[in-house]
Amino acid sequence: MANPAGIEAEGDPDEDWGPCISVAEWRLMYLRGMSSEQISRHCRVPLKRVRQVIRTFERTHPELAGKRLMLHDQPSLPTAADRASKPRRPSWEKRLQEVRTFYRRHRRMPRALSKDPAEKRMAEWVAGQRRLIRRGTTGEQRQAALQDAFGNWVGRPRAEAEVELWAERLDEVAGFQAVEGHLPRFRRGEDRFENILSTWVTTQRGLHRDGTLNPDRHRRLNERIPGWETWPR
């Protein structure tokens, strides 16, 4: 095998360097992550000779030195024990059953802003199914199963979804006031859910002040949330 350009073998070519005296092979081993000591032992050649060749290579080919693979750069394949210990993701059917049970129990879809981690995971799954259906990448069987479980929950007009969300926020604020004895307050760094409810109430106040709040919503706010129009001092 010919020596690489710029790297010449030194010494008498007839001298016995062991079973592997190809400088090109040493260079390849080096680029694959082997150290000079490992090359010396593997090829049964003097370590001093290998180090000399490698130093010459690094000096004359600096652009290639950075391509050397170190041991920690080489990914290891997962073992059978790793694969066995890794928890399996729930099947699509199991996720559907979980959300369907939640829907029947609470008569609503799971909410992404819930404090319950399980409900938040279900809400993320539901949102993912909506995206897939709108993209047209959901199979007919799965789409039929979702439709059978939850009705027309994917293709509802945005205005209808907004009406439902407004009603949910009204219930949440009324429930918060009943438990805490006051309207939700926005406090930076505190409970995110309370901050969301506080922002919602502030939005309703702003709409009322500007004269753009729906009269029916104004009536429902007065009925369910006493004192909602009073701005905090």
Residue 126 burial (C-beta neighbours within 10 Å; 0-12, 13-18, 19+): buried
Residue 79 in this model has a pLDDT that exceeds 80? no
Residue 226 in this model has a pLDDT that exceeds 60? yes
Q: Tell me the mean pLDDT in the region 100-109.
A: 88
pLDDT reported for residue 33: 74
More confident residue, 161 or 2: 161
Q: Which band of pLDDT confidence, cut at 50, 70 and 90, is reported for residue 56? A: confident
Give the list of residues 6+ apart from residue 228 with CB closer than 8 angstroms, or none: 173, 183, 201, 204, 205, 221, 222
Q: What percent of the chain has pLDDT over 90?
A: 23
Is 148 within 8 Å of 124 (Cβ atoms)?
no
Q: What pLDDT, in 10s, does the model give residues 141-200? A: 888 888 888 877 665 556 666 888 899 899 999 999 999 899 998 877 666 788 889 999
pLDDT reported for residue 169: 92
Residue 186 CA: distances (Å) to CA of 112, 172, 197:
19, 15, 8
Residue 131 in this model has a pLDDT that exceeds 70? yes
Domain ranges of the chain: 1-76, 89-155, 156-233
Mean pLDDT of the chain: 78
CA distance 68 to 82: 29
CA distance 168 to 107: 12
